[in-house]
Amino acid sequence: MEEKSKEKRRTRKRIDPQWITHSIVVIVADVIVVLFSYFAALWIRFDLQFGKIPEEYLSTYLRIMPAWCVITIVVFFLFKLYHSIWTYVSMDEAFVMVKAYLVLAICYILSKYLMKIDMPRSFYFFGIFIALVLHVAVRFSYRATRFIVNRYSKNSELRTGDVENVMIIGGGSAGSVLIRELNSDTHQNQRPVCIIDDNPSKIGRELYGVPIVGDRNDIVEKAAEYDVGSIVLAMPTASPHDRKDILDICKETGAKVRTLPGVYQLANGEVSINRLKDVELTDLLGRDPIEINNDEVFKMLRGKTILVTGGGGSIGSELCRQIAAHKPKQLIIFDVYENNAYAIQQELIRKYQNKLNLVTLIGSVRNTHRINSVMQKYKPDIVFHAAAHKHVPLMEDSPCEAIKNNVMGTYKTAQAAAAAGVKTFVLISTDKAVNPTNLMGASKRICEMVIQMMNRTTPNTNFVAVRFGNVLGSNGSVVPLFQQQIAEGGPVTVTHKDIIRYFMTIPEAVSLVLQASQYARGGEIFVLDMGDPVKIDDMARNLIKLSGYTPDVEIKIEYTGLRPGEKLYEEKLMDEEGIQTTANRLIFIGKPIEMDDEWFKKKLEELDRDSQEDDENIKKYVQEIVPTYKPGSM
């Protein structure tokens, strides 16, 4: 181990030979600048005539120059002026050079007395000024030469049709960085040709030689005029409404559209061509992200033992990430799929190392003994129950598995939590539980009924449910499927032309879950106002357009018909649930529905027995419990 450690240290200390070569070249150039500058100072002092320079001044010049060259190199090393990457040298280096020359001026003055130098005062003034200008010029010359070569190369490629014209939307900080990178990078076959900005004072001006040609209303016209093949939305601080408005215009140009991920890119200094991403549905939702009262939620999580079932899934893993960031006493990941559990475990270990008390357990919520033993051993304060089967068509073909995992798994986990003294139990539910037409939705409605029954019968634990719609980017969600189909050249498959859905992002879903756990008083079903529903057909067409293709021409759209159990639209509340507001204007509460708890328990026992026997009549039994379940409408 010790030998390996030494080898790693030696590897880290290796110096790039190319850097050494470049540094030597710059050092030689610096020496030449010093020799030339102070000779030029003498030459200027004596009217640009070499013959008029007194011999004693020439001999003094020759005597002091070796020492001044060494002093200059040492000071430059101390200020790390030989450590810059010259391709990206900027004004920062110029300011550092000025600071270095303030130190050099002091050194030269000291050497005047130590070496008994007697030279004209103009010798120092002109010499320092000329040397400073030339030293800065040396460092910028490499970048300037590279820029000229790259610009000439790109102009040549443009004439032969090898370079794609790029429109930049946003003439601010992010746009300027991207333009500089596009102009200087020889590996990019793209060239910025125009800028769009809504600030009237910028229109008609230029940014790094690229004209600002209009505002958002001119996008389509200017894209055609400049033969734009790609558009970059470089407005990370724009509101969701503005982004949606601009992207709606961009999709009519026929150009491929990319965006910066977000405002944090600016804060982290990560604005780069390599950071651009294709436009996703999140850019088109046109609403502000869900916000929660972070202080209240963080306070609730800090110092608590928290268990997440299904902790390796899309929602479960994001729950684990956000919980881990807020200093829980212990975080327990519980999942039946070892690969998922291992992935989130390793991610959290890499990020937090020994600062997080993390336990990762493999097991099924269907196993009564396993879930009971976990609850009794770790005694969690809060349980987030995210373990479930969620794919509608698959559950239609395997209905008994939906009952075993979703219904009985929830019931067993809730009973184990109550027996272990859990303070808060949060069920992850779905809007498909409202007036369900599919077995998966009906099973989640029964889960909600389990939660409300448990809250009435075990008052020491607050049982609540969180109901939300489709989650963008989750396993099996429609957007990644559309993107994959577009990348493969189509066709893009849509079940029905009129189908609509509510959408939210994974972080938004998790924010709602965390907020619900803080609001929980017992028995509530929390519902998110997810804004306006999105027409799936429009979503598919917009993604095709923003990828630079024409729907039904370059990429076909096929309508495959509604799948078994699928509705044209989803509802968020049943009529009898009513609605209550919360402190968060986007989170509402559906009131509990009265029911006979003893009758319900007997029905759960029957369901458990029938699902174990793979009874083909399971859907009929489910309908007895959930009268709003209409399997005949499938």
Q: Could you list the active site residues?
A: 432
Consecutive H or E run containing 375: helix 368-378
Count of C-beta atoms within a 10 Å radius of residue 493: 15
Strands of 266-349 (E only): list them. 277-278, 305-309, 330-335
The residue written with tokens 């809730």 in the block is 414
Helix, strand, coil shares, percent, the chain, to 5: 55, 15, 30
Q: Whole-angstrom Cα distance, residue 450 to residue 136?
A: 74
DSSP state at residue 199? -
Residues 6+ apart with CB under 8 A from 95: none
Which residues 6+ apart lie within 8 Å of 360 measured at CB? 311, 332, 333, 341, 342, 345
Encoded tokens for 199? 């600030």
Separation of alpha carbons 502 and 511, rounded Å: 17
Helices marked H in 160-226: 173-184, 219-225
For the sheet with 358-362, list strands across it: 358-362, 330-335, 305-309, 382-385, 424-430, 462-468, 525-528, 587-590, 580-581
End-to-end CA distance of the chain: 64
Amino acid at 497: K
d(CA 432, CA 444): 8
Query: In one letter, which amino acid is 34?
Result: V
Lookup result for tokens 């969180």: 466
In 552-623, which ranges are E strands? 557-559, 580-581, 587-590
Beta bridge partners of 277: 259
Q: Which residues have a Cβ under 8 Å from the Cβ of 343 and sit 6 or more positions away?
A: 312, 317
Q: Is the dihedral of CA 407, 410, 416, 421 positive or negative?
A: negative
